[in-house]
């Protein structure tokens, strides 16, 4: 009799007991031995079946001792060690059973192993690190090695319920591969005629087709639900799912009396990634950010993408509120690591706002608002940090919103005015230029600093409308003043936000008004705009240059200055930031820096304007260094149109300009 290792699949226990009674019964009738390793319940049912066939006596024994029942719960501990199957112990224990069964026996030995007991019946001997399927695979391999040492036939039984999921199919195939024969479940009858078998196969094919169609339909439904509820790019829950989860988390937090933390995460300068590396690379970055964020939370928490570069994390039922701080810091540290985006490497940071339930708010919308405000506090504090929500933030946010609404109503009315600050030619003492500066005189709050309202205008998009109005006001006024000085020019500040908000229509109109001759209006831009500019911005700047509009680089030296950009854009003026001019007469290092900037600019064909000149010694030092123009309170503050025009018409120098020293009657340069 050859050694055979067969696997029998079954759908229910009744089929198992019947098939087992046939298998062991046939062995006993032939004078062979039958060894059964099964659960106590199945051994009892098998014993009753064999008694009914007259193969066992009333005590459940076979007359010649050829029936050997082994209870699996008693056998497993014999070959398990520290929660893992042990090959040596298995070989010794099961091999000993086989050897004793074969000793002095002329017939064959048939063994049945109920593998479901190994998969699901390990109450006395729990697995430590292996999964139940893996444990069964180990045992099957040990049996195959015993087949090489002893002569016996083995039938292993598996219920189909042991492989309930689609991902179990690979394990199912591996089980089949370990056996020399595979018997399908009871729906397939090997003794049936050809016609019956063909009908059975056709029936199975119909069931498989129907199941495949159902799976396809279900997959389409699930895909539709996923598109509605999950972000297509990152696979994270979207805003609607986040809102639903947050509300459920609030209810759980209320029942458990454990706090909930909401983290609002906004990437810093993400637009620069899109502008410099492209939107496809930006999408890849967002995907990787989502994966990193998801790695920090529990299954009960929610990571969602609200849109753009905004993410949220809900941390529910916190035992320790400080864990929100630890997670926020881990996120900042992790996002600071490089992102490998195909052939590119990107570095980013994030600003995080944190709010708590029920400490800060009692509902989802208020929590989200609070977290958003705390995030903006992190932005204002310098980015790459986290901030907890405080009540004062709500007050500040309310004030910002009120100011934003007031600013919207002020556009086109008398509240907004353009003031002009003189820019003096240091070689002649003549006012040759002016900078247009926006002023807002609020009816209730009085004069509001541009430092307060310009960021609000940039954030809500009003800067485009306001910037266009300032340009036309400056253009009209500069044209009037050209009657006094044919070369007089007014510089207008242009916010980077104006370039990023599709301001093409306004810019085209600017170019149309400036065609021909020497335009009376110039533009002041920042270093940040040059460094972060995309192709559209570059094209727009070049169009201004082609139209003869003079470009000044404002606040030079305070950002990430790049000489390559100075050459690339062929600018007209550099404006030395006032931080280098302040205390110039007492700081040799600043004198050296100003001299170096002036020399460099002249080598590149640019003229230099020094901002923030307040004293005569500062003016003298800059003039001797070769600085072309000066701007600051020494020459006059920003003035309304009428006062500036009076200053422009007055003789240059002296008290009219507010200087603390005699007028610059002659150049001070060596």
Each residue's pLDDT tens digit, 569-590:
778 999 998 989 988 988 898 8
pLDDT at 323: 86
- Residue 645, SS3 per DSSP: helix
* Neighbour-count burial of 605, counting CB atoms closer than 10 A to its CB (0-12 exposed, 13-18 middle, 19+ buried): exposed
Contact between residue 477 and residue 641 where contact means Cβ atoms under 8 Å apart:
yes
Q: Residue 402 CA to chain centroid, in angstroms?
A: 32
The answer to whether residue 654 scores a pLDDT higher than 50 is no
Tokens of 185: 């479940």
Measure the CA–CA gap between 367 and 358, rounded to whole angstroms. Answer: 9
Mean pLDDT computed over 532-549: 75
Mean pLDDT computed over 213-221: 69
C-beta atoms surrounding 600 within 10 Å: 14
* pLDDT tens by residue, 136-190: 888 889 999 999 888 899 999 888 877 777 777 788 888 888 998 888 876 655 5
Q: What is the mean pLDDT of the chain?
A: 83
Lowest mean pLDDT among 148-152, 279-283, 411-415, 512-516: 512-516
pLDDT at 124: 47
Taking CA atoms, 560 is separated from 273, 527, 592, in Å, by: 16, 7, 19
Mean pLDDT computed over 122-144: 67
pLDDT at 286: 92
For residue 282, the surrounding DSSP H or E stretch is: helix 279-294
Contact between residue 312 and residue 371 where contact means Cβ atoms under 8 Å apart:
yes
For residue 271, the surrounding DSSP H or E stretch is: helix 270-277
Lowest mean pLDDT among 212-216, 346-350, 368-372: 212-216
Measure the CA–CA gap between 532 and 549, rounded to whole angstroms. Answer: 21
For residue 324, the surrounding DSSP H or E stretch is: helix 322-335
Taking CA atoms, 198 is separated from 167, 527, 537, in Å, by: 29, 80, 73
The answer to whether residue 490 scores a pLDDT higher than 80 is yes
Mean pLDDT computed over 70-98: 85
Work out the widest C-alpha separation in the chain, in whole angstroms: 134
pLDDT at 583: 86
The answer to whether residue 564 scores a pLDDT higher than 70 is no
Tokens of 34: 């039958």
The sign of the torsion formed by the CA atoms of 71, 77, 78, 83 equals positive
Residues 6+ apart with CB under 8 A from 7: 155, 156, 157, 158, 175, 176, 178, 179, 181, 182, 183
pLDDT at 540: 80
pLDDT at 310: 92
Closest Cα to residue 263, out of 295, 302, 234? 302
pLDDT at 527: 74
**Band of pLDDT at residue 655, cut at 50, 70 and 90:** very low
More confident residue, 199 or 108: 108
Pairing between strand 302-307 and 260-267? unpaired
Q: Considering the entire predicted model, what is its pTM?
A: 0.52
* pLDDT tens by residue, 306-330: 888 999 999 988 888 888 899 999 9
* pLDDT tens by residue, 606-648: 999 999 999 999 999 999 999 999 999 999 999 999 999 999 8
More confident residue, 270 or 559: 270
| Percent of the chain clearing pLDDT 70 (strictly above) | 84
Contact between residue 420 and residue 426 where contact means Cβ atoms under 8 Å apart:
no
Mean pLDDT computed over 79-98: 85
């Amino acid at each position: 009799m050859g050694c055979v290792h067969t696997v029998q699949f079954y759908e229910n226990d009744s089929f198992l007991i019947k098939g087992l009674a046939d298998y062991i019964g046939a062995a006993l009738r032939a004078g062979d031995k039958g060894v059964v390793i099964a659960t106590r319940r199945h051994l009892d049912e098998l014993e009753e079946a064999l008694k009914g066939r007259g193969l066992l006596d009333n005590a459940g024994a076979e007359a010649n001792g050829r029936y050997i029942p082994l209870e699996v719960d008693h056998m497993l501990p014999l070959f398990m060690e520290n929660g893992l199957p042990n090959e040596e112990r298995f070989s010794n224990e099961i091999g000993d059973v086989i050897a004793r069964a074969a000793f002095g026996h002329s017939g064959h030995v048939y063994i049945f192993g109920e593998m479901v007991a190994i998969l699901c019946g390990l109450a006395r001997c729990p697995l430590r690190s292996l999964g139940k399927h893996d444990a069964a695979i180990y045992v099957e391999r040990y049996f195959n090695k015993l087949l090489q040492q002893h002569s016996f036939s083995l039938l292993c039984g598996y219920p189909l319920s042991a492989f309930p999921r689609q991902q179990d199919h690979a394990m199912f195939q591996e089980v089949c591969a370990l056996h020399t024969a595979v018997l399908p479940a009871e729906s397939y009858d090997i003794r049936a005629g050809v016609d019956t078998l063909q009908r059975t196969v056709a029936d199975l094919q119909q069931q498989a087709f129907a199941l495949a169609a159902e799976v396809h339909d279900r997959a389409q439904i699930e895909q539709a639900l996923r598109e509605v509820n999950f972000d297509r790019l990152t696979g994270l829950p979207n805003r609607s799912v986040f809102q639903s989860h947050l509300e459920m988390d609030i209810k759980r937090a209320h029942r458990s009396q454990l706090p909930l933390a909401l983290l609002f995460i906004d990437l810093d300068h993400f637009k620069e990634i899109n502008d410099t590396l492209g939107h496809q690379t930006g999408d890849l970055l967002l995907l990787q950010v989502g994966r990193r964020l998801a790695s920090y939370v529990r299954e009960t928490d929610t990571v969602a993408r609200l849109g753009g570069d905004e993410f949220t994390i809900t941390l529910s039922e916190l035992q320790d509120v400080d864990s929100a701080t630890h997670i926020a810091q881990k996120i900042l540290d992790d996002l600071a690591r490089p992102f490998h985006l195909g052939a590119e490497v990107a570095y980013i940071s994030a600003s995080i706002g944190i709010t708590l339930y029920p400490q800060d708010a009692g509902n989802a919308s208020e929590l989200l608002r609070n977290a958003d405000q705390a995030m903006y506090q992190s932005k204002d504090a310098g980015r790459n940090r986290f901030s907890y929500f405080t009540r004062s933030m709500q007050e500040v946010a309310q004030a910002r919103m009120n100011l934003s609404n007031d600013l919207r109503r002020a556009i086109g009315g008398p509240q907004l005015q353009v003031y002009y600050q003189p820019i003096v030619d240091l070689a002649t003492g003549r006012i040759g230029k002016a900078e247009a500066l926006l002023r807002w005189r609020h009816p209730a709050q009085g004069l509001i600093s541009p430092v307060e309202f310009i960021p609000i205008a940039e954030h809500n998009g009003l800067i485009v409308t306001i910037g266009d109005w300032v340009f036309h006001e400056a253009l009209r006024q500069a044209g009037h003043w050209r009657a006094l000085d044919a070369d007089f020019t007014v510089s207008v500040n242009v916010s980077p936000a104006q370039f990023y908000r599709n301001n093409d229509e306004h810019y085209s109109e600017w170019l149309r008004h400036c065609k021909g001759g020497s335009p009376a209006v110039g533009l002041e831009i920042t270093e940040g705009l040059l460094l972060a500019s995309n192709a559209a911005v570059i094209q727009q700047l070049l169009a201004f240059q082609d139209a003869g509009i003079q470009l000044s680089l404002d606040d030079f030296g305070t950002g990430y200055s790049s000489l390559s950009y100075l050459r690339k854009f062929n600018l007209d003026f550099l404006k030395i930031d006032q931080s280098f001019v302040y205390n110039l007469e007492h700081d040799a290092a600043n004198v050296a820096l100003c001299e170096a900037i002036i020399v460099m600019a002249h080598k590149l064909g640019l003229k230099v304007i020094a901002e923030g000149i307040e004293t005569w010694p500062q003016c003298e030092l800059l003039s001797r260094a070769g600085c072309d123009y000066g701007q600051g309170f020494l020459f006059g503050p920003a003035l309304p149109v009428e006062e500036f025009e009076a200053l422009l018409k007055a003789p240059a120098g002296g008290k009219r300009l507010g200087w603390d020293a005699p007028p610059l009657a002659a150049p001070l340069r060596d």
